[in-house]
Amino acid sequence: MLKLHREDILMLRCPKCQEKIIKDENRYVCKNNHSYDIAKQGYVNLILANQKSSMSAGDNIDSLKAREHFLNKDYYKPLADSLIMLANKYLDDGNVFLDAGCGTGYYLQQIINGSIKDINFYAVDISKKGVIMTSKKCKSATCFVGNIFHLPFEEGALDGLMSVFCPYSNEEFSRVIKKGGYLFAITAGEDHLFQLKEIVYETPYLNKEEGYKLEQFDLIEQFNVTYNMDLKNNEDILSLWRMMPYYHTTAKEDNNKLESIDRINCIADFLVSVYKRC
């Protein structure tokens, strides 16, 4: 039986005219001759200048470096393991799966390594530096710079999509995920990093724990991944804090309270939600 090569089943479309784009040596091109070069690092830029405006604080290079440092220590491996479990449970051979907001590529790399199925992996992020990091880790994935609110995919192109601590779009996700396809969403659990918040804030609050508010999707599975992390040195603690959204909304003197902490036991608490496109 002829095995389809990854490039033969590309479902990307041109961000300018929405026609299908196909791979042509070192570029992607549509029938209207809009062309997108594949960078030497292996990714392609599929974002239009006017779609770059939603750049968030999480995309800056310091935040990416903090994430790279912290995640590479495998403190979040139990979360990655549950994503691997979901991929093996819900996806099938030949499926198309997108990491929408891939960041540094840590979770996608884990899924690729742990997948028992033959999946066509895609990764998108608005941060070019994040996509380059992902592209280095995930050689078998098609990685592109793009905006999750304007995904360059055909309608119903995806069998699965994951969204890990990222913004989401009901409209765009329901357009690109086919009927019967799956969305894996990761959000913060109630207790996530409470021990760090106790140090930084006078009145720390529990997180408001919630999944995504979606139409055209049914919630079919939801559980918490909760465990204790032994954060062993100040660099790990600061890296974790700097990759959190709180860091950017907290006063400098409060963030600095973590500078003198060298070891702490801290709860990691994630809400894992699986939605099925109906």
Binding residue for Zn ion, selected from 6, 22, 34, 136, defined by CB under 5 A: 34
Please report how close the Cβ of residue 16 comes to Zn ion at its closest, in angstroms.
4
Say how many C-beta atoms besides its own lie within 10 A of residue 85's C-beta: 13
DSSP state of 241: H
Please report how close the Cβ of residue 36 comes to Zn ion at its closest, in angstroms.
9
Number of residues located near Zn ion, criterion CB under 5 A: 6
The residue nearest Zn ion at its CB is: 14
Do the Cβ atoms of 275 and 215 come closer than 8 Å?
A: no
| CA distance between the termini of the chain | 32
H/E stretch holding 237: helix 234-242
* Interaction of residue 32 with Zn ion, rule CB under 5 A: yes
Residue 124 vs 274, nearer CB to Zn ion: 124
Hey, which residues between 90 and 119 contact Zn ion (CB under 5 A)? none
Q: Which stretch binds Zn ion (CB under 5 A): 29-37, 45-53, 173-181, 240-248?
A: 29-37
Q: Which stretch binds Zn ion (CB under 5 A): 33-41, 83-91, 211-219, 264-272?
A: 33-41
Binding residue for Zn ion, selected from 30, 64, 79, 132, defined by CB under 5 A: 30
Residue at token pair 């995920």: 177
The SS3 assignment for 20 reads strand
Hey, which residues between 165 and 184 contact Zn ion (CB under 5 A)? none
Do the Cβ atoms of 183 and 275 come closer than 8 Å?
A: yes
The Cα 67–Cα 149 span in angstroms is 23
Tokens of 89: 């449970």
Please report how close the Cβ of residue 98 comes to Zn ion at its closest, in angstroms.
20
- Site residues (CB under 5 A) for Zn ion? 14, 16-17, 30, 32, 34
